[in-house]
Amino acid sequence: MANDGVNGPENTGRRRFLTATTAVVGAVGAGFAAVPFIKSWNPSARAKLAGAPVVADISGLQEGQRLILEWRGQPIWIVKRSKAILDALPTLDGRLRDPESKNTEQQPSYIKGETRSIKPEISVLIGVCTHLGCSPEMVAEIRPEPYDPNWKGGYFCPCHKSRFDMAGRVFQGVPAPLNLAVPPHHYADDNTIVIGVDPEGAA
């Protein structure tokens, strides 16, 4: 008969193959459709540039270590300072251009004192030199350096030799005119820092 074999093994196998292929293509398509939806949960590149907050876990940060994040297209340095570094900060006031951080454009109003921080041991700075926008090197050890025999730790910009202490305060007699900026930030808990958002109730 003309219809012999229509429901035979070969056609059944082909039907199963086509059904499976259709299911796979459908699943792949659904996966591609889901990716933009999942990505929408995270801040977009445009939102990050506009200042979307950046959250970081600092529980593993050890003394002398620096965590580098990105906020608004700028490097954010989070450094855990040692007691020796903190003790050295007051001894540098006479060598600094703005030791009391009187330029209010360089830090939020709740950032005060020689440490320029919410928690004394944790420094949070925008890692961009205030001279021409280079990124200084962190030289955290207290030891003589070619550019400063009385170096107490800090940041050195090799581009034009600007120097900053471990609180980001600029030295006198260098090209950089201002202290390194401190971004708005707060602590969600003891181990979580949020960059880009002031503490609740901050003026």
Q: What is the mean pLDDT of each run of 10 residues along the chain (203 residues)?
A: 44 56 51 41 50 92 96 96 97 96 93 95 97 92 96 95 97 97 97 95 70
Helix, strand or coil, per DSSP, at residue 24: helix
pLDDT of the residue at 42 = 46
Query: What pLDDT is recorded for position 200?
Result: 87
H or E segment to which residue 50 belongs: helix 45-50
Scan for tokens 């855990």, then name that residue. Answer: 80
pLDDT at 201: 73
Residue spans per domain, the chain: 1-41, 46-195
- The answer to whether the CB of 76 falls within 8 A of the CB of 195 is yes
Give the angle 128-153-64 at the CA atoms, nearest 5°: 85
pLDDT value for 40: 36
Task: Tell me the CATH class for 46-195.
Answer: mainly beta
CA-to-CA separations, 16 to 85, 100, 105, in angstroms, rounded? 72, 77, 69
| Sequence-separated (6 or more) residues with CB below 8 Å from residue 103 | 178, 179
